[in-house]
A and B are shown apart, each in its own frame.
Chain A
Amino acid sequence: NAGVTQTPKFQVLKTGQSMTLQCAQDMNHEYMSWYRQDPGMGLRLIHYSVGAGITDQGEVPNGYNVSRSTTEDFPLRLLSAAPSQTSVYFCASSYGTEQETQYFGPGTRLLVL
């Protein structure tokens, strides 16, 4: 199994540009989520999904959209990038919807100029 994969590894955007961060898992996990990691602030939940077709907001959802059309994929869309969205983004998945062991992807480092 590849586990949780993310693309790209690194991206530079200009303010106002849009882009999609890709996340996929091959473990048939129901629960998937997106976090951003900023220095001194831990991992903050952006959006999550408890299954295909179901998504919900986390702690910091503004400026981001998600969809879950399949069990495997959970893309994160930045609608109009802002410098405040410069961060490291991690996708994670877990087997059940009760979020026991979460498996993280390798992360995407995003720089918004």
Chain B
Amino acid sequence: GENVEQHPSTLSVQEGDSAVIKCTYSDSASNYFPWYKQELGKRPQLIIDIRSNVGEKKDQRIAVTLNKTAKHFSLHITETQPEDSAVYFCAAIKMEYGNKLVFGAGTILRVKS
């Protein structure tokens, strides 16, 4: 089955700097890669996702890149702000009936002001 590894487990950056979180996956058939953000005491919420037919996707200050050959994908946050402080989870799945979304262990991002 799919296995997703996420690094780093914690990341501290200065406000305004960029943050990068990287995930690797094991199943080359996986074709959908979402990222979820979980603020303290809240539920996880989807912030961006990418499909395997796309190499990069941007949404304002966040972007995700996918390298299918190396089987890794990354979340990039530019111009970080204190409200970006949260736990970020990556996930991977081959989107077909009965398959299960597999999450990484999460990255705690702290943005220091």
Kindly provide the distance from the CB of A16 to the nearest chain B CB, expressed in whole angstroms: 29
- Other-chain residue from B42, B98, B102, B105 in contact with A40 (beta carbon distance below 8 A): B105
**Secondary structure at chain B's binding surface: helix, strand, loop or mixed?**
loop
Q: For the complex, give the distance between the alpha carbons of A42 and B34 in Å.
A: 14
Q: Could you say which residues of chain A place their CB within 8 Å of the CB of B100? A: 45, 48, 58-59, 99
Q: Could you say which residues of chain A place their CB within 8 Å of the CB of B97? A: 50, 97-98
Q: For the complex, give the distance between the alpha carbons of A101 and B45 in Å.
A: 9
Q: For the complex, give the distance between the alpha carbons of A90 and B106 in Å.
A: 15
Q: Could you say which residues of chain A place their CB within 8 Å of the CB of B46? A: 101-102
Q: For the complex, give the distance between the alpha carbons of A98 and B32 in Å.
A: 10
Binds B, one of A21-29, A63-71, A104-112: A104-112
Query: Which A residue sits closest to B46, measured CB to CB?
Result: A101
Question: Which residues from 43 to 72 on chain A have a C-beta closer than 8 Å to any C-beta of chain B?
Answer: 43-45, 48, 50, 56, 58-59
- Other-chain residue from B49, B98, B105 in contact with A56 (beta carbon distance below 8 A): B98
Q: For the complex, give the distance between the alpha carbons of A80 and B101 in Å.
A: 27
Q: How many A-B residue pairs have CB under 8 A?
A: 56
Please tell me if the beta carbons of A43 and B49 are within 8 angstroms of each other in the complex.
no
Please tell me if the beta carbons of A105 and B43 are within 8 angstroms of each other in the complex.
yes
Q: For the complex, give the distance between the alpha carbons of A59 and B103 in Å.
A: 11
Please tell me if the beta carbons of B95 and A107 are within 8 angstroms of each other in the complex.
no
Q: Could you say which residues of chain A place their CB within 8 Å of the CB of B101? A: 45, 99, 102
Query: Which 9 A/B pairs are nearest by Cβ-Cβ distance?
Result: A104-B43, A98-B95, A42-B105, A43-B103, A42-B103, A99-B101, A104-B44, A42-B106, A101-B46
